[in-house]
Amino acid sequence: MKQFIDKHPVVAILRGVLPSNAINIAQCLYDHGIRVIEVPLNSPQAITSIANIVGALPEDCLIGAGTVITLEQVKQVNNAGGKLIISPHCDIDIINYCLANNLDVIPGIATPTEAFLAYQAGARWLKLFPAETYGCAHLKALKSVLPRDAHIIPVGGISQKNASQWLSFNAIAVGIGNSLYQSNDSVDTVTAKVIQLNKVLNINLLDDK
């Protein structure tokens, strides 16, 4: 996971994307530096979109699913080639299965109790959700008590306007959905959004060349 986040500190959430435009949208994000992309499973034909993206994008990116709530869904994502499993909650069985099958897993947590349960099960990447409900001070408090190798990715209400603030409170990355992609957005629309995001995060893609 770290190698992909080191390239760009954003997990792109393509909620509502259709298989017909999933590749074009994902390629646009990839071209602008993003290396971690999730398709929430409550999107139409999400498994097909994941398979399409996995088949089209280079191997130096991590593709998978969000809103994963059952083991059966984990297996479907894995069968489609997805290697990232993100949940809105902390499910120990899902964590154990992912770790045993070389899948990157990011369980959802909100409280210290949930965070430590996930950590003790082996998860090192945690999704603070819904982030906007708790705020940056909550993230700071969690980071102060968790082991140093526990990384937190806030999701929910993150946008171009506040992404830098969350990162300044030691979020390892941020998950961005509606502010980066909304259902039926064109490639041009997503391009404008990701360019603005890179600008506020001071990401210069020329540095990688």
CA distance 108 to 118: 9
Are the C-beta atoms of residues 161 and 134 closer than 8 Å to each other? no
127 given a catalytic annotation? yes
> Which one is catalytic: 7, 38, 83, 193?
38
The token pair at 157 is 């209400």
CA–CA gap between residue 44 and residue 61 (Å, rounded): 22
Residue from 2, 7, 72, 127 carrying the catalytic annotation: 127
Q: How far apart are CA 143 and CA 154, in angstroms?
A: 12
What is the C-alpha separation between 126 and 135, in angstroms, rounded? 15
List CB contacts of 162: < 8 A, sequence separation 6 or more: none
Question: Which active-site residues does the annotation give?
Answer: 38, 127
